[in-house]
Amino acid sequence: MNIGILGTGSIARTMAAEFTKVPAFRCEAVCSRQQATGEALAQQFGIPKVYTDYDTMLADPDIELVYIATPNSLHYAQTKAALLAGKNVLCEKPFVPAVAEADELIALAKEKHLFLFEAITTAHHPNYALAKQYLDDIGSLRIVSCTFCQYSSRYDALLSGQVPPVFDPACCGGALMDLNLYNVHFVVGLFGEPMRVSYHPNLYRNGIDTSGILLLEYPDFLCQCTGAKDCAAPGSVQLIGDAGRILIEPGSSNCQKLRLVRPGQEDLCSEYSESPWFYEVAEIAMILALKDYDACYAALKKTRQVVTVLEAAREDAQLGF
């Protein structure tokens, strides 16, 4: 599968490296707003073509899949253009801001029988499946607690007067959309949509949430998701039942270590060493190789549920974007 990469930022570089580990993928082209930036990425990863115009890249018949790694607010239009051009699409998280946009893109992918996928590591990690398997061992679930707090150098830029896309309301940035969404993916992936959603953000003066606490209420348990880009803390997911708990570290974006803890019993531990993107890219390669559209559309159904929760959270906090 020949890939055209759109964007040359931090995740585009990470993913270009991950694509090269999987023989089924070949990076065919990169598209950047500047020729020199595109050439730098192309040279680093041995990518033969550089485009500075997205439509021109979409017109390249050699490209079968477009990987979109641009600011959040561009995902919808760029995904739609790629699908209309007949390309499969892997779109970075967060998929799109609005449920109506998600529905339109999912319908378009189905109509054109194309692969469409949100690039997010959470559910692809082997320990995620293990957590699901261990749920029966912790009794009745009472509390879920997820923490993803990572101080961002872009927060320093915000404090010094710049507005990077990730802290720009016009780009649909913020801690909820950038980091807390991993927690939402973890929880909604396992338990579906909650009954009620409320979001309590710390706001910067431009109206962006630099951190915040999200409460998801389920019929039988409560879930607290913390996401922050303005402070740091060790990350984790804890699923706490009345007969034990499951602890995952460093958390919802990388389920590297899992521990099942039950009183009076030895802990069961599981640890993986590959990067979290490795498992995501391997699973995508498998879905594409098998043309497993059921798996693709099942993942999109989860993505749509997450978009619904995130939209409800932004509405609850009256974020205005």
Ligand X SMILES: NC(=O)C1=CN([C@@H]2O[C@H](COP(=O)(O)OP(=O)(O)OC[C@H]3O[C@@H](n4cnc5c(N)ncnc54)[C@H](OP(=O)(O)O)[C@@H]3O)[C@@H](O)[C@H]2O)C=CC1
8 binds ligand X (CB under 6 A): yes
Q: Which residue is nearest to ligand NHF (CB)?
A: 178
Least distance to ligand X from the beta carbon of 152, Å? 10
Beta bridge partners of 226: 147, 213
Terminal Cα-to-Cα distance of the chain (whole angstroms): 36
Least distance to ligand X from the beta carbon of 188, Å? 17
Say how far apart CA 189 and CA 181 lie, in whole Å.
11
254 binds ligand NHF (CB under 6 A): no
310 binds ligand X (CB under 6 A): no
- Say whether 105 sits in a helix, a strand or coil: helix
Say how far apart CA 149 and CA 309 lie, in whole Å.
20
207: partner contacted, choices ligand NHF, ligand X, none (Cβ within 5-8 A by kind):
none
Say how far apart CA 45 and CA 63 lie, in whole Å.
17
70 binds ligand X (CB under 6 A): yes
Q: Which is nearer to ligand NHF, 278 or 293 (CB)?
A: 278
At 203, give phi and psi (nearest 5°): -105, 140
141: partner contacted, choices ligand NHF, ligand X, none (Cβ within 5-8 A by kind):
none
Q: Which is nearer to ligand NHF, 138 or 307 (CB)?
A: 307
32 binds ligand X (CB under 6 A): yes
Residues 137-166 as x/- pattern, contact with ligand NHF by CB under 6 A: -------------x----------------
Among residues 57, 63, 64, 93, the one that binds ligand X under rule CB under 6 A: 93
What is the DSSP track for 42-81?
HHHHT--EEES-HHHHHT-TT--EEEE-S-GGGHHHHHHH
Q: Is 100 left (phi over 0), alpha (psi -120 to 50) or beta?
A: alpha
Say how far apart CA 103 and CA 106 lie, in whole Å.
5
Q: Residue 43: name the closest of 26, 61, 30 by CA.
A: 30
Least distance to ligand NHF from the beta carbon of 253, Å? 5
33: partner contacted, choices ligand X, ligand NHF, none (Cβ within 5-8 A by kind):
ligand X
7: partner contacted, choices ligand X, ligand NHF, none (Cβ within 5-8 A by kind):
ligand X
9 binds ligand X (CB under 6 A): yes
Say how far apart CA 108 and CA 79 lie, in whole Å.
10
253 binds ligand NHF (CB under 6 A): yes
Applying CB under 6 A, which residues contact ligand X?
Answer: 7-12, 32-34, 37, 69-72, 74, 92-93, 119, 165, 178
Applying CB under 6 A, which residues contact ligand NHF?
Answer: 150, 178, 253
